[in-house]
Amino acid sequence: MLLKTNLCGMKLKNPLILASGIIGVTKASLKSAADSGAGAVTIKSISRERRKGHEPPIIATEGDVMINAVGYSNPGIEEAKMEFLRLSEVGVPVIASIIGKDAGEFAWMAKNFLPGEFSAVELPLSCPHTPGYGMLAGQGTPGATLEITKVVKKQTKLPVIVKLSPNIQALGDVAKAAEKAGADAINMGNTVGPGMFIDPKARKPVLTFGFGGLSGPAIKAIAVRCVYDVYKAVKIPVIGTGGVATGTDAAEMLMAGASAVGIGSAVHYRDVAVFGKIAKELSALMKDEGFSSVKEMIGIAHE
């Protein structure tokens, strides 16, 4: 009860959302996150055609930091349409995630991949390691964000969430462009960097692609600062994503201004049961600190 909240019309039992790409390639994996306690779940990003992604190894960890260059491997729209049917069986709202090389492809994806079953759609304009998409395709500028968000809004009635990169300097300007174009929420944000690990024995980068986006507990302070900045810049709700692994981390995000909290790499650090664990920890923290609703915490660090 304490954790119940609302995001873009979605009724959530708690503010914890499975972030895109960690699991979420299948309906069964979405359900496992929901069963473990997630308030909502996001599918892995889907492109028009099937994509193989980068050559493995594509993920590596060193302590609190994870680095990935998955390269948007996904089955493509036709197979994804077959996979993500009867989504009410997942038990919590399911957020779609679509990618495109340009505004035209985003519009096409929105038109063709969003049947009535999804509760919202996310546009990651922010991947730092996939040529042709996100940051490497210039989608992180105010102009591109405005154009892509506008064309997607024309194609769907679903709430549109724009996912931004913590690498953007003028974050407020990009968030404002998304808001102006009609975005219903900002997801702040994607992975940091890119960065690189080198294997001293092999004398070359650990990831075959060379560099990848940083995630996990080590990026939390950057993500919290970005949420704080975006909360000041726009009126639409913000989903705080990056490095959240505990109830205290989730509370920090809410206090920075997030209305909901994305959780990705923590599934690796604390397994898929992480959603239930964080919900329990957040609820205990709220009781200790005298909060009676999530709403009371949102943006309180600004006061």
Distance CA 101, CA 109 (A): 11
Q: CB nearer to ligand FMN: give 1 or 25.
A: 25
Catalytic residue, chosen from 10, 16, 127, 245, is: 127
- Quick check: 130 binds ligand FMN (CB under 6 A)? no
DSSP 264: -
Which of residues 125 and 292 has its CB atom nearest to ligand FMN in the complex?
125
Residues 141-170 that bind ligand FMN (CB under 6 A): 163
Stretch that binds ligand FMN, among 146-154, 175-183, 215-223, 272-280 (CB under 6 A): 215-223
- Which residue of 37, 193, 264, 299 would you call a contact of ligand FMN, by CB under 6 A? 264
Cβ proximity to ligand FMN, 234 vs 266, nearer residue: 266
Task: Compute the least distance from the CB of residue 271 to ligand FMN, in Å.
Answer: 14
Smallest gap from Cβ 54 to ligand FMN, in A, equals 11
Give yes or no for residue 218 binding ligand FMN (CB under 6 A): no
Find the binding residues for ligand FMN in span 30-89 (CB under 6 A): 44-45, 59, 66, 68, 70, 72
Tokens of 261: 């909290």
Residue 20 within binding range of ligand FMN, rule CB under 6 A: yes
Of 5, 153, 159, which Cα lies nearest the Cα of 96? 159
Q: Which is nearer to ligand FMN, 140 or 262 (CB)?
A: 262
Minimum distance from residue 29 beta carbon to ligand FMN (Å): 13
Burial of 302 by CB count in 10 Å (0-12 exposed, 13-18 middle, 19+ buried)? exposed
Q: Which is it for the CA torsion 240, 100, 45, 130, positive or negative?
A: negative
How far is 274 from 267, CA to CA, in rounded Å?
A: 6
Provide the 3-class DSSP secondary structure of residue 193: strand
- Known catalytic residue at 226: no
CA distances for 108 relative to 87, 102, 118, 240, 289, angstroms: 22, 10, 17, 28, 47
Applying CB under 6 A, among 215, 226, 250, 255 the residue interacting with ligand FMN is 215
Instruction: Indicate which single residue of 39, 142, 242, 247 sits in contact with ligand FMN (rule: CB under 6 A).
Output: 242
* Binding span for ligand FMN by CB under 6 A among 78-86, 110-118, 147-155, 235-243: 235-243
Residue nearest to ligand FMN (CB): 21
Q: Which of 280, 303, 261, 263 is nearest to 33 (CA)?
A: 263
Cβ nearer to ligand FMN, comparing 88 with 129: 129
At closest approach, how far in Å is the CB of 241 from ligand FMN?
5
# residues contacting ligand FMN (CB under 6 A): 28
In whole angstroms, what is the distance from residue 36 CA to residue 31 CA? 8
* Residue (21 or 296) nearer to ligand FMN, CB: 21
Q: Which residues contact 120 (CB under 8 A, 6 or more apart)?
A: 8, 10, 93, 95, 96, 158, 159, 160, 161, 184, 185
- Spatial separation of the C-alpha atoms in residues 290 and 294, rounded to whole Å: 11
Whole-angstrom Cα distance, residue 136 to residue 126? Answer: 8
Structure tokens at 244: 């959240």
Contact set with ligand FMN (CB under 6 A): 19-22, 44-45, 59, 66, 68, 70, 72, 97, 124, 163, 190-191, 215-216, 219, 241-244, 262-266
Active site residues: 127
